[in-house]
Structure 1
Amino acid sequence: MGPLSGGSLILIAIVALLIFGPKKLPELGKAAGSTLREFKNATKGLADDDDEKPNTQKEKA
């Protein structure tokens, strides 16, 4: 399956507008953005921790 086409995105936007209403959509977008930002920061921290673990294990051995 390929990426979503323009028509599919418009249909999804219309359905979201009907379900949540125009006043709630900006709040949902803001919440989704902050969630993605937190996830990105957390995964970056995990990757940094993985890089540091081999060094500390060599020092202990």
Structure 2
Amino acid sequence: MPKSAEARIEHYWRVEQDGTVIAHELSGDAYAVVATVRPGTSWTAIAPFTVTLTPSDLVS
């Protein structure tokens, strides 16, 4: 079990080198991918807070 799961961190987002954002959510003792957001697309997260993410808007 990852230390973040042991600490009960419920959500984390990973940013890949190509700008893709992968959102993970704790499900039991493991993480599940809840979204993969590639540059040029958008996604509205509802947890842990509501926000619309468009990766290509974050870089110049």
In the superposition, the TM-score normalised over structure 1's length comes to: 0.20
The structure where strand makes up a greater share of residues is 2
User: Larger C-alpha radius of gyration, 1 or 2?
Assistant: 1
Higher normalized helix content (fraction of residues):
1
Whose RCO is larger (CA < 8 A, sep 6+)? 2
Q: TM-score, normalised by structure 2?
A: 0.20
